[in-house]
Amino acid sequence: MTIKDTPEEWEVRATQTPFVGNKTSVRTDDVVMPDGSVVRRDYQVHPGSVAVLALDDAGRALVIRQYRHPVRHKLWEIPAGLLDVPGENPLHAAQRELYEEAHVKAEDWRVLTDVYTTAGGCDEAVRIFLARGLSEAEGERFEAEHEETDMELSRVPVDELVRGVLAGELHNNCLVVGVLSLVAAQQGDGLDALRPAEASWPARPFES
């Protein structure tokens, strides 16, 4: 048996959107189960996101510390942001987020991994990129607002992040998945064997 996720869509008898927010909404679907019963499923509709594990020449990852109100924590994270424009090229979005949150640019981009963050209750899909060949970006720094005005920036050795993940001290989804995927790739076929930055992404199709 091949261990691979496959697309499938069960019949939806009815659907409604009881809540529409600024960036996301909540949808309620009446879904036909394999036994013929109809079950109501509520889930968050999300535009999708990108995240960037930016690795410098010293083997340190660029991380930010930011307040996240839903979990009442300041979390260490990797740069990330929403796909604000339908069909937006995720690489371009990732480059924008790295510039805005860290004022950094990168020469080498690869796809590290693609994930559904909470498939049981949200349709959010995230593409996590690996960025290398880092340097200071030109131009003025992006003007921060809201939670980002209190944001901290640091460069941390990957080994230290792995220790923090396994010790239960670091919890951000993209940081955890990104760091552990990086180590797996390094110990496997190597970082240069990762998918190219423009690899297709069925979860969020885009134009080059």
> Which CATH number does the domain housing residue 63 bear?
3.90.79.10
Residues 92, 165 within the same domain: yes
Residues 87, 53 within the same domain: yes
Residues 126, 146 within the same domain: yes
Catalytic one of 148, 152, 160, 169:
148
Residues 57, 130 within the same domain: yes
- The answer to the question of residue 181 being in a domain is yes
pLDDT of residue 155 exceeding 90, the answer is: yes
Indicate the pTM of the whole model.
0.93
pLDDT category of residue 77 using cuts at 50, 70 and 90: very high
Residues 136, 94 within the same domain: yes
Residues 41, 74 within the same domain: no
pLDDT score at 151: 86
Residues 57, 111 within the same domain: yes
Q: What mean pLDDT is reported for the chain?
A: 94
The total domain count for the chain is 2
CA-closest candidate to residue 119, choices 8, 44, 202: 44
Residues 83, 16 within the same domain: no
1-46 pLDDT tens trace: 899 999 999 999 999 999 999 999 999 999 999 999 999 999 999 9
- The answer to the question of residue 134 being in a domain is yes
Residues 68, 157 within the same domain: yes
Domain that holds residue 27: 12-45
Cβ proximity of 45 and 52 under 8 Å = no
- Is residue 148 part of the annotated active site? The answer reads yes
Residues 36, 127 within the same domain: no
Q: Which residues pair with 26 in a beta bridge?
A: 19, 44
**Cα angle at 125 between 148 and 203, to 5 degrees?**
140
Residues 76, 24 within the same domain: no
- The answer to the question of residue 206 being in a domain is no
